[in-house]
Amino acid sequence: MAVAEATRELAIPVRTERGPLADAFQQLLANKMAVASGVFIIFLLFIAIFADNALIAVPLGREVVPLLAPEAFDQVHFRLNNAAPSRQYLLGNDYLGRDMLSRTLYGARVSLAVAFSAATVSLLIGLVYGLASGYFGGRVDDIMMRVVDFLYGFPILIFVILLQVYFKAISRRGGTGLVGTVISLNEAMGGMFFLFVALGALNWLQMARIARGQVLSYKEKEFIEAARMVGAGDMRIIFRHLLPNILGPCIVAETLAIPTYIFWEAFLSFLGLGVEPPTPSWGIMISDAYQALRSYPYQLVGPSVALTLTTLAFNFLGDGLRDAFDPRLRGTM
């Protein structure tokens, strides 16, 4: 009681108790660029989801019509091929007369879907692997980390490309049973499913290392020992006590990797190894525009601006998240 009074008299500000998560969130909100980027990404997500009404129309079996996009992405106008920007088509038309603005808006769908899914796949594999390796330690850890070291020598981009070539050739040949199901699923998703697999399945090494390092730093803490003392099993300790603590830094690391996925999707599509036409991807659109650069340079505008802004936003958000969660790293790369 006396202490409380003394505190009041000395006007020492009593710090309200906040968890580390709320603290980090406060930090993030103070970063204007990160907040602006977050708003932009939510806006982009909104466009990606509501470019047309497929989300509602497909389950109900109704006709899919564009909502936010002026036209459907595969609406062809043969008279308007390569038309310059006009009042009706603000960014012009591509070589089939399709509206560039609509295709750019739809392109957000592929870009974000691939980026988030690849990030989720990579996060899941990396987390499970890193948790197991760090928690069980000893020989298990040695062997599992050896495998990671081993795979680090693999040029990932090359293998992503080879895998995509493999998946594309397989889907052209068709198949039966499980293979057939996966191929038709991939077709229904415009070729995105195999991209998730190829990008996510090959990019979990960094995540496994981060997760393991985090586990090692928490493993010997008192609260884990206390949990063990009251009889918690390995699974309970891993999922109830370790996972919530290491999840934050792992998600931050994965957010920092999202621009890479966005870029790789665009690059694979640029090479013709990404999504299947006519599904619009910024990579395919840049590739098409690039072929016609001499005659129709304006076709480059939409997809280029969209790709750059999205990368910029994710970079700012990632930097902001990292600063908020791990202030020691502020100002470094």
Partner 1 sequence: MTRYIIRRILWFIPVLFGVTLATFILVRAIPGGPFDFVGDKSLPPAIVANLEAKYHTDWPVWKQFVSYLIGDEFLDPEGKSRGLIRLDLGPSFRYRNRTVNELLAVSLPVSAQLGIFALALALLIGIPMGIIAALKQNSLLDYGATFVAILGRSIPNMVLGPLLMWVLALKLGWFPVATWGTKPPYFLGFIPKPTLDFFTHAALPAITLGTGLSALIARLMRASLLQVIREDYIRTARAKGLRERVVIIRHALKNSLIPVMTVLGPLFAAILTGTFIVEQIFGVPGMGKHFTQSIGNRDYAVITGVTLIYGIFLVIANLMVDISYAWLDPRIRYE
Residue 102 Cα distances to 76, 134, 302, angstroms? 12, 48, 10
Instruction: For residue 73, give the DSSP letter.
Output: T
Instruction: For residue 238, give the DSSP letter.
Output: I
Residue 214 Cα distances to 207, 208, 307, angstroms? 11, 10, 33
Any contact of residue 82 with partner 1 (CB under 8 A)?
no
Distance CA 263, CA 268 (A): 9
Structure-block tokens of residue 110: 């592929």
Using CB under 8 A, pick the residue from 152, 181, 217, 236 that binds partner 1. Answer: 152
Structure-block tokens of residue 132: 């197991």
- Are 326 and 248 in contact by the 8 Å Cβ rule? The answer is no
Give the closest residue to 83 by CA, choosing from 236, 302, 299: 299
Using CB under 8 A, pick the residue from 129, 193, 196, 316 that binds partner 1. Answer: 316
Structure-block tokens of residue 175: 């198949």
Contacts with partner 1 by CB under 8 A: the residue count is 42
Binding track over 269-288 against partner 1, x by CB under 8 A: -xx-----------x--x--
In the complex, the smallest distance separating the C-beta of residue 280 from partner 1, rounded to whole angstroms, is: 15
Structure-block tokens of residue 1: 């009681």
Which region among 14-22, 116-124, 145-153, 234-242 touches partner 1 (by CB under 8 A)?
145-153
Using CB under 8 A, pick the residue from 161, 216, 232, 247 that binds partner 1. Answer: 161
Binding track over 171-200 against partner 1, x by CB under 8 A: -xx---------------------------
Using CB under 8 A, pick the residue from 4, 11, 12, 158 that binds partner 1. Answer: 158
The three-state secondary structure class of 273 is coil
Nearer to partner 1, 153 or 177 (CB): 153
- Residue written as tokens 């996972």? 243
Nearer to partner 1, 252 or 268 (CB): 268
Interface residues with partner 1 (CB under 8 A) are: 149-150, 152-155, 157-159, 161-163, 165-166, 169-170, 172-173, 259, 263, 266-267, 270-271, 283, 286, 289-290, 293-294, 297, 300, 304, 307-308, 311-312, 315-316, 331-333
